Amino acid sequence: MDIINTVVGIPLGYLMWLCYVLIRNYGLAILAFTLLTKVILFPLNIWVQKNSIKMVRIQPELNEIGARFVGDKDKIAEEQLALYKRENYHPLAGMIPMLIQVPIILGLIMVVYNPLQHLLHLDTELINAFVNQAAALLPGVDLGSTAQLKVIELINDPSFVGFFSGLQVPGVDVAGAISQIQGMRLEFLGLNLSLLPDITRLDGYFLIPVLSGVSAFLLCFFQNKENVLQREQGFLGRWGMAVFLTAFSTYFAFIVPVGVGLYWIAGNVFAIFTLYLLNWMYDPKKFIDYDALEESKVHLAESKKIEAQLKPSKEQKAKAKADYARFFEGKKVKQLLIYSEKSGFYKYFENMIDVLLAQSDITIHYLTSDPNDAIFKMDNPRLVPYYVDDNRLIPLFMKIDADVVVMTTPNLQTYHLKRSYVRKDVEYIYIPHDPLSTHMGVPKGAFDYFDTVLCVGPQQMAEIRETEKVYGLPEKKLVPCGYGLLDNLCAAYEAMEKTENPVKKILIAPSWQDGNILDSCIDEMLAALLDKGYDITVRPHPEYVKRFAVKMQQLINRYEDRFGEDFRIETDFSSNVTIFTADLVITDWSGIAHEFSYATKRPSLFVNTPMKVLNPEHDKIKIVPLELALRTELGTTIDPDKMDGVAAVVAELLDKREDYAQHIAEVLDQNVFNLGHSGEATAHYVMDAVAAKADSSYRKMMEMQ
């Protein structure tokens, strides 16, 4: 308490002393002190008001981030931090006035308990002499923090003042000090502001805690109604806090002197006036699009419903617990571990697994974060599946004891998935889940902690080597493998019976990133293409349908009267027939265009919506990303604000379809390794890696245990 009295009490004591000297009334001085602190802190309140308005103004974007990346906490946090930085928003700013209030309260308590020091500025030795004398007059009474108040009470009692007037303190006018103390009145409105209220007595003192609680409730009521940030909180958040602060304020006023309670009441009343003054100076309605805010809340609510549906059930949690224990059973080292984020990712491993099962005796341990992964329906004794939930995924990765780990998840060691702490010689292999760039469409350092990258084509190898050179990274093993999913798409397309479409079919297949076709120019595009003799299918990205159900329904509602034989919106993604039978694909940044053009040798039209850039430093790598380079190799581009000319561009691409076929075949050959045989190339490398580990001394030691 001495430290608080020195650091906080003394500065605030001078402020209180100034108020007391000017007014000469203790209660009014406390009210003036309260008002003065509010005036001093008003510039800070202005900053908080602006920051709060900024928060609500960007809330639609925050809600869209939450909706877009629902379930991905790391990505949501990353995107939110980027938005805060862009908008210069400070998330903790709203807490600053409350944090400042704490030392003010503590300081005021010190001032109230130590008026001889802070209000009368008496000599320290004299104060100590007075306190010692009071202790001698009241044997057995622990004066504690109320010592100076007790001195004032005794000196103002004619029965005791004589015991103090005889004290001798060198260089100090004791009589003058006693006169000052006798002239000091701690009463206000009939209440001694130095006393504590008594919960057992219903008197004027009892009224102070009651008014403290009432004023706190009124402040919360008006904040819930008028504060730009508070009124956006949920019902429980707003009124739960109101109940808590009301109860706390009432309790607090019972355990501190009445003068502090008076400050608390006045502070709450002044805060209400400050709230309205700030709203008058900076009206939130002038800065915030409340219609957009409400729409974003609907999107977020829909996504939260999806997230709730995706949470593991009780049975799934039990399965995760059992599989986690089974994963670590026995001491035998696992030769090969594959990690898959969800069921749909099996397609990236499928060709490799087929070859491994057919041409080796390796047992494949398949770890998935999807409790409904199709892997659990496969019946092969050498393909051993495990389900692990989010709570167990991180510790499992830390304890991996396997020779080789294969995964499509980038950012190893950078985010939540770490390299094994148990074994330092595990070979981590990254297998791409798209044939595009390794330096723009993924975060910086996405592959830095992998030992090996299985590359789709020569450009990926060149990009990774250049990245290693630019950042001074050790060289990884780069293996020319190809892209199994593309092999399968090409094979499926070749096996199809092909017929010429009497009416040219156009597939509009946007991505789901910010500013995609559906959110930027779909209406203008359809206005230009409908009734032009085309069969048009709009096929949104599955993630867009899942995360933005409201937007999706609004789109369907706008066009449901137009649906017919030549136009439809397709939300069933179970078949590739729509893709394979299209004459032209229109997209923005979706990888579907590369799969379509490579498999069918037909052109794509790319709309230049905002790029998906996950690495802001990608331009340090002086290689044009394939996402950009291939847009004019596989077709052509158009800006979203040029949709009045899209029909002419579409007609030209369809007319030149045969010219594109030969060129696309050449582009495919130049950019993809081992076309049609990527499974063999990938599996053979994995087999060699497993065999090399089997010869290592560590492996032999573990097998002997």
Model pLDDT for residues 632-653, shown as the tens digit of each residue: 999 999 999 999 999 999 999 9
What is the rounded average pLDDT of the residues 296-318? 79
List the single range of 313-322, 567-576, 580-589 with lowest mean pLDDT.
Answer: 567-576
Predicted pLDDT at 344: 83
What is the rounded average pLDDT of the residues 340-363? 93
Residue 433: is its pLDDT beyond 90?
no
Predicted pLDDT at 484: 94
Predicted pLDDT at 698: 57
Give the residues across from 188 on adjacent strands. 191
The Cα-based distances of 652 to 94, 603, 657 in angstroms read: 57, 11, 9
How many other C-beta atoms can be found within 10 angstroms of the C-beta atom of residue 612?
A: 17
DSSP string of 373-438?
-GGGG---TTEEEEE--HHHHHHHHHT--EEEEEES---TTTSS----SS-S--EEEE--SSSS-S
Predicted pLDDT at 94: 67
- Token pair, residue 345, equals 């990712």
pTM over 0.75: no
Terminal alpha carbon distance of the chain: 61
Q: What contacts 568, CB < 8 A, 6 or more positions away?
A: 536, 537, 538
Closest CA to 490 of 582, 599, 623: 599
Predicted pLDDT at 309: 67
**φ, ψ for residue 634, nearest 5 deg:** -95, 0
Please give the radius of gyration of the chain, using alpha carbons only, rounded to the nearest integer: 37
Predicted pLDDT at 293: 85
- What is residue 455's three-state secondary structure? strand
Predicted pLDDT at 162: 85
Predicted pLDDT at 303: 75
Which amino acid, 541? H
Predicted pLDDT at 281: 92
Predicted pLDDT at 353: 97
- Token pair, residue 678, equals 């990527």
Strand ranges (E), 609-655? 635-638
283: left (phi over 0), alpha (psi -120 to 50) or beta: beta
The Cα-based distances of 340 to 195, 313, 447 in angstroms read: 68, 20, 17
Distance CA 265, CA 321 (A): 54
For the chain, the residue count is 705
Please give the residue that has the higher pLDDT: either 241 or 686. 686
Which amino acid, 572? D
- What is residue 24's three-state secondary structure? coil
What is the rounded average pLDDT of the residues 259-270? 90
Predicted pLDDT at 385: 96
Residue 211: is its pLDDT beyond 90?
yes
The Cα-based distances of 462 to 439, 465, 482, 624 in angstroms read: 11, 5, 15, 11
Distance of CA 72 to the CA centre of its chain: 9
Rounded (to 5) percent helix, strand, coil in the chain: 60, 10, 30
H-type helices in 336-480, by residue range?
346-359, 390-398, 458-471
The Cα-based distances of 466 to 441, 474, 476, 477, 630 in angstroms read: 16, 11, 12, 14, 20
What is the rounded average pLDDT of the residues 555-565? 91
- Token pair, residue 664, equals 């696309």
Q: What contacts 200, CB < 8 A, 6 or more positions away?
A: none
71: left (phi over 0), alpha (psi -120 to 50) or beta: left
Distance CA 82, CA 74 (A): 12
| DSSP structure class, residue 282 | S
Taking CB atoms within 8 Å and a gap of at least 24, the contacts of 664-669 are: 664/597, 664/598, 664/601, 664/602, 664/603, 664/633, 664/634, 665/601, 667/630, 667/633, 667/634, 668/598
The enclosing H or E element of 682 equals helix 678-694
Residue 700: is its pLDDT beyond 60?
no
Residue 697: is its pLDDT beyond 60?
no
Q: What contacts 364, CB < 8 A, 6 or more positions away?
A: 336, 338, 353, 356, 357, 382, 383, 384
Q: What contacts 157, CB < 8 A, 6 or more positions away?
A: none
Q: Average pLDDT, whole number, for the chain?
A: 88
How many other C-beta atoms can be found within 10 angstroms of the C-beta atom of residue 119?
A: 23
Residue 143: is its pLDDT beyond 80?
no
pLDDT tens per residue, range 505-546? 999 999 988 889 999 999 999 999 999 999 999 999 887 887
List the single range of 8-12, 38-42, 226-230 with lowest mean pLDDT.
Answer: 8-12
What is the rounded average pLDDT of the residues 294-314? 77
Answer for the pair 14, 36: CB distance below 8 angstroms, yes or no.
no
- Token pair, residue 610, equals 């905002």
pLDDT category at 27 given cuts 50, 70, 90 is confident
Predicted pLDDT at 2: 57
Residue 354: is its pLDDT beyond 60?
yes
List the single range of 52-56, 103-107, 326-330 with lowest mean pLDDT.
Answer: 103-107
Please give the residue that has the higher pLDDT: either 574 or 500. 500
Predicted pLDDT at 551: 81
- What is residue 151's three-state secondary structure? helix
Predicted pLDDT at 93: 72
Distance CA 197, CA 205 (A): 5
Taking CB atoms within 8 Å and a gap of at least 24, the contacts of 83-86 are: 83/58
- Token pair, residue 648, equals 């002419």
Distance CA 508, CA 74 (A): 31
Predicted pLDDT at 357: 96
| DSSP structure class, residue 377 | G
Answer for the pair 508, 588: CB distance below 8 angstroms, yes or no.
no
The enclosing H or E element of 566 equals none
